Amino acid sequence: MNAEIITIGDEILIGQTIDTNSAWLGKELYEIGISVKQITSIKDAREDIIGALDLAATRAELILITGGLGPTQDDITKQVLCEYFNTELVVYPDVLEKVRSFFKSRGREMLESNNMQASLPKDCTIIPNNLGTACGMLFNKAGKIFVSMPGVPYEMKGIMVEEILPSLKLKYKLPIILHKTIITEGIGESFLAERIADWENSLIEKQIKIAYLPSPGIVKIRLSLIGQDKSKMEEIIEQKVAELKQLIPVNIFADQDITLENTLAQLLIDNAQTVSTAESCTGGNIAHLLTSISGSSNYFVGSIISYSNEIKIQELGVKKSDIETYGAVSKEVVEQMAVNVRKKMKTDYALATSGIAGPNGGSEEKPVGTVWIALAYEGGVFSKKFLFEKDRERNIQRATYAALSLLKRKICGQLV
């Protein structure tokens, strides 16, 4: 079964909003065996919407539409859908009641414009939105299904998870698509491909497709297999993953598509261990990622962000003479940061960073992108110098991932 996604909104075309809805929808559909053939983003304009609907219906059986359902004047999707499906807007009293109680339960005043949210196409199936006031709408036309949903990501997700995905799974006999993602860290795409070339070639006879997905500091390897016999397929994929793990044990961060911080959180919780951080160039980003996970108070205690040298000395007990002799971006300083924050926070591990994130502040000896990272643990400290890039954002991200990776390797006995 093929699907297409249409996202509507001027703000997407002029780049003021990044379309994250499509990625989420693509992923959810893929997991239940529905293939997304195309994603189309268009303006809040009548002809563009009608043209996109027409073309999508020639290629796919399911068309998911997001955006343009808000209470403000620039949102025209509902009117255009009425024209396309040859119907008209009518007030749904039960929806109006729900909109009213939505505002009431939140102690918010109901505005005139919010009444409009209960005006919906006469001939369509209304899909409840429990997280907002813009309902979903489902239309059938010439055997194709069209679903229109609000563009606010969490409202759209609510409608999909509660209504659309369950009913798709019930209604259609979908093929089985198995996919497996392995996350690698600390090795570039070309090197990785070269290193696992023979293994990659061995995938062909198993009809497994492979894709490399690089992002700063990380390369994801995605394996895909289509078939009918799920347990047989799982066995084939698992065999190949086991082979890959033997080839690049240290570089594999996770054998599923989760974030580095989630992997690490799980490891720390499983081992009942704790971590703290002392951050200079990463400015709190390691702590932010570690605390982005529900339950993080089980393994995370606190951090000291020591951006200035004074705070490194005062809060982390770094020796002033060492900063003067070796500079703040040095093995000596970063190791003291890690060891001392671990002592202060009484944690099993402590991560510390000190580097030149850029774009300014580099020197010949220590160019922009130079980052020292240290990991303190019971009985010792390990540190390593990295040379990343010229871009500030990428350097902060890569340093953060490299720090998380050091800790993962230590916990897994891979730190050498």
Q: Which of 74, 88, 123, 324 binds a copy of itself (CB under 8 A)?
A: 74
SS3 state at 242: helix
Nearer residue to a copy of itself within complex by CB, 37 or 206? 37
Among 1, 226, 267, 305, binds a copy of itself (CB under 8 A): 305
Residue 234 vs 315, nearer CB to a copy of itself: 315
86 to 125: interface string for a copy of itself, x by CB under 8 A: ----------------------xx-xxxx-----------
* Under rule CB under 8 A, residue 340 binds a copy of itself: no
**Burial group, residue 382, by CB count within 10 angstroms (0-12, 13-18, 19+):** middle
Member of 16, 86, 228, 246 binding a copy of itself (CB under 8 A): 16
Q: Is residue 256 a contact residue for a copy of itself (CB under 8 A)? A: no
Question: CB neighbours (10 Å) of residue 246?
Answer: 8
Q: What is the DSSP letter of 416?
A: -
Q: Minimal distance in Å, beta carbon 100 to a copy of itself?
A: 13
Which one among 152, 323, 333, 381 touches a copy of itself, defined by CB under 8 A? 152
The CA-based dihedral angle spanning residues 42, 48, 50, 51, taken in that order and rounded to the nearest 10 degrees: -100
CA separation for the pair 304, 285 (Å, rounded): 12
Q: Return the structure tokens found at 179.
A: 């996919």
Residue 57 identity (one-letter amino acid): A
Q: Parallel, antiparallel, or unpaired for β 370-377 and 380-387? A: antiparallel
Residue from 32, 210, 241, 267 binding a copy of itself (CB under 8 A)? 210
Q: How far is the CB of 322 from a copy of itself (least distance, A)?
A: 18
Contact 42, 8 (CB under 8 A): yes
The reply to whether 52 sits near a copy of itself by the rule CB under 8 A is yes
Question: Cβ neighbours of residue 267 under 8 Å, at least 6 residues apart?
Answer: 408, 411, 412
Q: By rule CB under 8 A, what string of x and - marks binding of each residue 364-393 to a copy of itself?
A: ---------------------------xxx
